[in-house]
Structure 1
């Protein structure tokens, strides 16, 4: 069974709720050092991106569900002074195109592979938030020769931990998705407010996130949540044979017993007292932990 880590809470929260109730102009950043003007296209869909800095190491940041590349602005400003830093809007979100039907993990993994190839990125550290954890994992499996390591951001919190009642979970999940199809904004807001924000999450950040969720294409957003029973995080991580780095909040416990049991190499870094969005809730703490990750990678 595959879902990003908060799926069980998502199912429960939405199930309760259900019972109770022209393309934009290309704004790709031009890097002064390299003057890159690549028109990124993957599976006939244009991908909007920024490309900042230079160096022998590339950081590719991938956002989570219903948000966009601007959530990495603090990381671009900080790490772009020492590395080549690329951020993308996943197809279907932000300023990227929407002209396709496939919003699966496999399709998004191909997008990551295509971005790496078209921008000629070398020594890539993939950083993926929320659902993008599985996306960067798939991308790394598709293009392993270019990837140094994976960095999950508040995800992979229970890899290899099988559900005790996967049939029940699947039924609740399907019911929850049905509720979201009927009232996307209300159900999504309920989910974020009850499960993804923490008591310390500032109102300005809550409002920003909820506004982006409200502006998302609901058909694409729901499709991106699709239950992909063929994708196994633990199997793909073992296949990749690279260390997994995690920069996670601790408002939801991190259960690494599955990683240990599967002999998957990992290292966990914590950003304390934030909700699901540590890179914007505590950017300085997040950047410090990512610095630690990069230092560990370079020691390998």
Structure 2
């Protein structure tokens, strides 16, 4: 699973919600306990409509990061947000933290809430998760939207000896000094120069409070072939990415993967909370095309 973007002497790694709308009443099903393979999944379920927007957060954060989107979209759609197991208020009582397992969690929520016409919206590492979830349930999942992710799909890179040495050094730091590594990485690489202190402090606090064992296990997953998986979905991928770091579309084009990219100008890795109005406009435009 490609989780975080960090350049170590030329070697690129791919890194890697919503509080209940105070203006809308939670559906009765919010009181239903959702469990997948013994792990409880915390979620919100608001709004009504024949199409469901299902938001999935990224690494070390939680469903409250989608609060602006819940308020905006639950007037016309059924809107679901979840805390992925291991994060937020969901359970931690398992040992596997990879794309396949997380995608099964998403599908479990779809099944247990009997959701239909689901558009999955996944931030950061959840880009891979929603792709696999669409493969798992190609009938109920009708659309895929990635948020600041999938920026080098299908691009091959052969690491040099120095790249490998830098990689091993980084992994050692992640395993033995997680909090200092994560704080340094997030603070230096996931914010833009204009990212406000409120956003910075929020993200850094959530990273600092994350379960380091689970967070590290997520980072070490790197076996998800995004290009082949996207082809397998037989669906167009829509992206809402920050325009600060380039999205390389070469792989999409060379492998004939249907895609559409919209950009949110001058944000860090969290456009949905940094510029929610602009983000929501881009998502509205995408929804009109699905």
Q: TM-score, normalised by structure 1?
A: 0.89
SS at the partner of 2:195?
Answer: coil
- Cα drift, residue 168 of structure 1: 5.7
Aligned to 1:267: 260
Please state if 1:69 is matched with 2:63. yes
Inter-partner Cα distance in structure 2 for 1:136 and 1:148 = 11
Give the 4+ runs in structure 1 shifted more than 6 A. Answer: 10-14, 27-31
Aligned to 1:244: 237
Inter-partner Cα distance in structure 1 for 2:4 and 2:209 = 24
Aligned to 1:21: none
Inter-partner Cα distance in structure 2 for 1:160 and 1:101 = 30
Aligned to 1:179: 173
Alignment of 1:1-300 (within 5 A): 3-4=2-3, 6-8=5-7, 32=25, 34-36=27-29, 37-165=31-159, 169=163, 171-229=165-223, 231-297=224-290
Deviations 1:71-126 (A, max 9, x none): 00000000011100000000000000000000011101111111110111100000
Inter-partner Cα distance in structure 2 for 1:180 and 1:47 = 27
Higher helix share: 1
Inter-partner Cα distance in structure 2 for 1:144 and 1:153 = 20
- Cα drift, residue 6 of structure 1: 1.6
RMSD: 2.3
- Cα drift, residue 56 of structure 1: 0.4
Inter-partner Cα distance in structure 2 for 1:242 and 1:9 = 33
- Cα drift, residue 250 of structure 1: 1.1
Of 220-229 and 56-65, more deviation after overlay is shown by 220-229
Of 215-224 and 187-196, more deviation after overlay is shown by 187-196
- Cα drift, residue 207 of structure 1: 0.4
* Structure 1 portions without partners, runs of 5+: 15-26
SS at the partner of 1:125?
Answer: strand
Q: TM-score, normalised by structure 2?
A: 0.92
Verify the 8 A CA contact 1:38 1:118 in the aligned structure 2: no
Of 85-94 and 105-114, more deviation after overlay is shown by 105-114
Inter-partner Cα distance in structure 2 for 1:35 and 1:80 = 15
Q: How many residues are paired up?
A: 283
SS at the partner of 1:247?
Answer: strand
- Cα drift, residue 279 of structure 1: 0.1
* Structure 2 portions without partners, runs of 5+: 14-18
SS at the partner of 1:145?
Answer: coil
Verify the 8 A CA contact 2:148 2:241 in the aligned structure 1: yes
Inter-partner Cα distance in structure 2 for 1:51 and 1:167 = 49
Verify the 8 A CA contact 2:9 2:162 in the aligned structure 1: no
- Cα drift, residue 11 of structure 1: 9.0
